[in-house]
Amino acid sequence: MWNRKHNTQQSIGTSRAVQSRKFTKFSVVRQTVALSVMQLREKIKLNSNEMKKFSKVFLSFFLVVNLWNTELLAQQDNNDLKNLNLNGKVLSITTYTQINSPDNWIIDNKYVFNNEGNIISVGFYDIEGAITSYSERFYDGKGFEIERKSSYRGDLTTHTYFAYDSAGNFVKNTSYDNKGNQSYKYIYFYDKNGNLTEECDYENSETLKEKSVYKYDQNNNKIQIDYYKENILVKIDFLKYTYSSDKNIISKEINYEKGKVIFDYEGKKLIKETSSTTKSLKISIYNQNGDLVKVSGNYNTQPSYGDNINLNYKYEYDSQNNWVKQYMSDYSGNYKIYAKRELTYYQ
């Protein structure tokens, strides 16, 4: 189930509306990762040694995004600009990447936001500058996303509808293909505190395929997840939390059948992940603007990519304190420009 992992609360007292928005936010990240892979396949041709280096870098990037999916979305605001760490009244943001030479900049993606700071369209581009994947999002008067249309190279691929109850809880997500056939359907149930208690996956039929049941402590933090295949219990995960004096979570431990993963936080930033299952470690360091400046650790589950990761980033900023140039260090420790962005703002 695609959003099984991202609904964990990071702080006590999160509003129902904010919790509900996390479901639709997750699909933004999931699509971004999938589409980025497709774009990279179209844009680059590498020899075996280059591919090995690229795979190592991309693995780290993917793991960073995956951690964001599962953990940081739990802290998100009801606003895409804040969630993307953008300042000011951003109207659009266009990202460019280099291909093969320092002077060969090509457009990679473009995001457009409404006046409330939420995404209304996203486009990804091929090496020729033509749009490959594009999606439009539509909102109701309360700022909830209620509809999304996604296309690939001009052809509609999916049409998704989101439904909410009177309390603002996200209760249903239904998607259809370009012929109007149902692709999947998810239904969600909540307790009186607005906590998600049950998540049901019906895929493309009315028959239950998978189900997750969530249990919470007195602080409304998730402590147990029961996974069902149809109506048969197949796995149970247990969660444990450590709190700071101001009642924010500083550590979360998830116990699986074969081991455990520990997430450590500094404020609202996920700074460390340790897995006894895969014997892996990842440490993230951010600058004062909240942008990632260092990723280090080891990933022993993928020895072909290399065990150790050590990536460093630097940025240049505009007058609104949003980065416009991103530099990444190479394997010799030299920084090279990696990406640049053009931002426009509402007047």
Residue 97 has pLDDT above 60, yes or no: yes
Contacts 24+ apart (CB under 8 A), 291-296: 291/85, 291/315, 291/323, 292/64, 295/60, 295/64
Work out whether the CA dihedral 50, 53, 59, 61 comes out positive or negative.
Answer: negative
List pLDDT tens digits, range 15-69.
333 344 444 444 444 334 434 444 444 444 444 444 444 444 444 444 333 333 3
Tokens 């640049």, residue? Answer: 340
List pLDDT tens digits, range 317-333.
999 999 999 999 877 77
Distance (Å, whole) CA 11 – CA 267:
10
Which percentage of the chain shows pLDDT scores above 70? 75
Reported as a pLDDT band with limits 50, 70 and 90, residue 343 is very high
3-state per-residue secondary structure call for the chain? CCCCCCCCCCECCCCHHHHHHHHHHHHHHHHHHHHHHHHHHHHCCCCHHHHHHHHHHHHHHHHHHHHHHHCHHHHCCCCHHHHCCCCCCEEEEEEEEECCCCCCEEEEEEEEECCCCCEEEEEEECCCCCEEEEEEEEECCCCCEEEEEEEECCEEEEEEEEEECCCCCEEEEEEEECCCCEEEEEEEEECCCCCEEEEEECCCCCCCCEEEEEEECCCCCEEEEEEEECCEEEEEEEEEEEECCCCEEEEEEEEECCEEEEEEEECCEEEEEEECCCCEEEEEEECCCCCEEEEEEECCCCHHHCCEEEEEEEEEECCCCCEEEEEEECCCCCEEEEEEEEEEECC
pTM across the whole model:
0.75
Residue type, 346: Y
Tell the burial category of 2 from Cβ atoms under 10 Å away from its Cβ (0-12, 13-18, 19+).
Answer: middle
Tokens 């116990």, residue? Answer: 255
Mean pLDDT of the chain: 78
Lowest mean pLDDT among 110-114, 208-212, 327-331: 327-331
Residue type, 66: N
Residue 162 has pLDDT above 90, yes or no: yes
Pairing of strands 292-298, 308-317: antiparallel
Tell the burial category of 49 from Cβ atoms under 10 Å away from its Cβ (0-12, 13-18, 19+).
Answer: exposed
Backbone φ, ψ for residue 103 (5° rounding): -95, -5
Look at 5 and 156; give whichever has higher pLDDT: 156
Give the closest residue to 302 by CA, choosing from 58, 21, 37, 38.
58
Structure tokens at 266: 């500094």
Residue 334 has pLDDT above 80, yes or no: yes
Lowest mean pLDDT among 80-84, 117-121, 144-148, 330-334: 330-334
Domain-wise residue ranges, the chain: 16-345
pLDDT for the residue numbered 247: 74
Distance (Å, whole) CA 82 – CA 87:
7
pLDDT for the residue numbered 256: 80
Which residues, in sequence order, are CB contacts of 217 under 8 Å at separation 6+? 223, 241
CB atoms within 10 A of CB 133: 21
Residue type, 232: I
